[in-house]
Chain A
């Protein structure tokens, strides 16, 4: 019995120590920031800590590969950090499960935010994320290849038919004109193909989220246009079903691809890895007489419900949301209009990305959205492997999606 008593004493003192450590920890905010944001995060934290000596910010770097799973595990386990950088689109799911705190009280000037960005992170009237980064995809092209193919690099294709003509002219000798994605994470293909559906006046689900609309003519026509890049025209690499955005960038850097849909974050790494490429950027071509479009992408801060120091965390992200700090932190564009005036956003190469921002839209916030996109993506892949044509594949996808919609 001696042993038992001893253990009990040890356990008691251990828990006292833990409690003391707990009090000592007050004022320490743990922040999961992805590695591509980290260098600037460190810089900002130093500034913040100088102004708020009582709050200590600890940065833990994350990587985007597998991040959704890591975040959801942390949120579910109850031992989450105080702040996490997540993509806008993930937040609705967290909010429905009560895993994150509403942040309305620290969004001081909602009118200054890109409306689509705030729409993304709202759920049943409350705002569960603080958006700080916003972007839409455009098309990056190789100006040298344009000249070789006898195309004018200063007037890139504007419409769908011009895009196909240019892509056909650029394809040949092991080189592909326009790379689409058909592999990797589902999101890659959603971000690249859904804007084509929107431009054509279609959608995946109806606005009131009661009906699957992905097999209606406007959507099917757009899906066919997208998948025909591989199936009909062969202007997308034969490895399309294995390629995500990163693989396409690699092919572009290797000069095996002349045009592909990319984000502004791709510009720097292309310039670094193959400085010989003369880069051009254009907004995504649209059907005759329609506008361009893109999905609004980007990142927000969230504060988990189980955060240890939510109050300090909120003070910090409120500070981060100030235009000058947000402007420094973002990899692409800031989510606030007033931060856009900063010098670093005036680069002419970024102009098409800025041009597309007003035409960006959030994806629908629906509890089953991830499963809906999976059903749609499966349909796209059935077309790309040649199992079904666009209409049949989207009819099947619509069945799956309708099932999901009927559950809510």
Chain B
């Protein structure tokens, strides 16, 4: 016993828990993906089946739209809100608190509330548009092929832009005041300050938050599943929902595991590229 370093001994409980919580599920998923329901080894059968399904490329394309649309808008809106909330004006404290609300609301509550607001017959959005005569007919927000994915993205942006705001706001408050004073001496206005002082200063925060948002959006299931279940006609089917459907609705755990493994690999590649690119940029900036 004496030869084992105390450091390792202290880390051991944590390592065991980590192994159980992370390594075991990952390995088990890998095992499921190459076996059939009876546990026999079947090689790449499951992979061929999920890749052969016509819904797989549809889900993949939808996922790209969903992640891209959500993250871009969340970052822009969140950063803009943060910069505004950083200005001095009366009632700033209250406004800061209000801005956090969407992030605090539980995902499922937000999703169901929005589903009702978007509803064709009973929804308040259509009511507000038809009552003053902005539109003649109620719009089927969640059933029209052109509006259903944007509606989902809008909900996701609403839900998470406050998170970006909080993070960026924290970053903004650590910018030294003399940078602004120097800029002002040089005669720059608010826009110049934002572009040349504020944004470069909070870029590390934005990069980190964006990475987090990409991972969240890739794994997100609540909003879409609670509202459309990936429908109508697979218009909002994203890969996580396809995996969920395969496993928990069709009881095809092996195919679901195969798709998870592929998805995991794709996500890893995206994340690796992203980290590489953003760290390279940072070095250049320094």
Report which A residues bind B (CB closer than 8 A). Answer: 1, 68-69, 72-73, 76, 93-94, 96-97, 182-186, 237-242, 251, 256, 368, 370-371, 374, 377-378, 381-382, 384-385, 387, 396, 399-400, 403, 407
Encode contact with A along B201-241: 1 for CB under 8 Å, 0 otherwise. Answer: 00000000000000000000000000011011111000000
**Judging by beta carbons under 8 Å apart, are A407 and B49 in contact?**
yes
Q: A68-B248, A238-B138, A239-B121 are in contact. Are A387 and B54 (CB under 8 A)?
A: no
Encode contact with A along B38-71: 1 for CB under 8 Å, 0 otherwise. Answer: 0000000000010011110000000000000000
Say which residue of B120, B145, B234, B245 sits within 8 Å of A239 (CB atoms). Answer: B120
Say which residue of B1, B121, B245 sits within 8 Å of A238 (CB atoms). Answer: B121
- Of the candidate stretches B18-26, B72-80, B189-197, B249-257, the one touching chain A is B249-257
**Judging by beta carbons under 8 Å apart, are A97 and B120 in contact?**
no
**Judging by beta carbons under 8 Å apart, are A385 and B143 in contact?**
yes
**Judging by beta carbons under 8 Å apart, are B52 and A403 in contact?**
yes
21 interchain pairs, CB-CB under 8 A: A96-B37, A97-B37, A183-B231, A185-B229, A186-B249, A237-B120, A238-B140, A240-B143, A241-B140, A241-B142, A368-B250, A368-B252, A370-B249, A370-B250, A371-B246, A378-B231, A381-B232, A384-B232, A385-B233, A385-B235, A400-B54
Q: A239-B119, A241-B143, A385-B143 are in contact. Are A97 and B251 (CB under 8 A)?
A: yes
**Judging by beta carbons under 8 Å apart, are B53 and A242 in contact?**
no
Number of chain B residues close to chain A: CB under 8 A = 31
C-alpha gap A399/B55 in the complex (Å): 12
Minimum C-beta distance from A401 to chain B (A): 11
Minimum C-beta distance from A384 to chain B (A): 7
Say which residue of B119, B145, B246, B252 sits within 8 Å of A387 (CB atoms). Answer: B145
**Judging by beta carbons under 8 Å apart, are A239 and B143 in contact?**
yes
B residues near A387, Cβ cutoff 8 Å: 145, 233
Encode contact with A along B140-157: 1 for CB under 8 Å, 0 otherwise. Answer: 101111000000000000
Encode contact with A along B83-95: 1 for CB under 8 Å, 0 otherwise. Answer: 0000000000000
Q: A185-B229, A370-B250 are in contact. Are A378 and B234 (CB under 8 A)?
A: yes
Interface contacts beyond A182-B232, A370-B249: sample of 9 additional A-B pairs, CB < 8 Å, sorted by A: A183-B143, A183-B228, A238-B120, A241-B142, A241-B143, A251-B121, A385-B144, A387-B145, A400-B55
For B49, B121, B138, B229, the residue with the greatest tally of chain A CB atoms inside 10 Å of its CB is B121
A residues near B233, Cβ cutoff 8 Å: 378, 381-382, 385, 387
A residues near B248, Cβ cutoff 8 Å: 68-69, 72-73
C-alpha gap A396/B53 in the complex (Å): 12
A residues near B49, Cβ cutoff 8 Å: 407
C-alpha gap A272/B250 in the complex (Å): 36
Minimum C-beta distance from A163 to chain B (A): 23
C-alpha gap A368/B49 in the complex (Å): 13
Minimum C-beta distance from B243 to chain A (A): 13
Say which residue of A72, A97, A242 sits within 8 Å of B142 (CB atoms). Answer: A242
Say which residue of A183, A256, A403 sits within 8 Å of B232 (CB atoms). Answer: A183
B residues near A68, Cβ cutoff 8 Å: 248-249
Q: A1-B1, A96-B37, A242-B120 are in contact. Are A371 and B252 (CB under 8 A)?
A: yes
* B48 (CB) vs chain A CBs: closest residue: A407
B residues near A385, Cβ cutoff 8 Å: 143-145, 232-233, 235
B residues near A237, Cβ cutoff 8 Å: 120-121
For B55, B229, B233, B249, the residue with the greatest tally of chain A CB atoms inside 10 Å of its CB is B233
B residues near A240, Cβ cutoff 8 Å: 143
B residues near A182, Cβ cutoff 8 Å: 232
Minimum C-beta distance from B151 to chain A (A): 12
A residues near B229, Cβ cutoff 8 Å: 184-185
C-alpha gap A387/B120 in the complex (Å): 19
Minimum C-beta distance from A90 to chain B (A): 9
* A382 (CB) vs chain B CBs: closest residue: B233
Q: A385-B233, A399-B54 are in contact. Are A374 and B249 (CB under 8 A)?
A: yes
* A184 (CB) vs chain B CBs: closest residue: B229
Minimum C-beta distance from A267 to chain B (A): 23
Encode contact with A along B1-37: 1 for CB under 8 Å, 0 otherwise. Answer: 1000000000000000000000000000000000001
A residues near B250, Cβ cutoff 8 Å: 93, 368, 370-371, 374
* A185 (CB) vs chain B CBs: closest residue: B229
* B244 (CB) vs chain A CBs: closest residue: A69
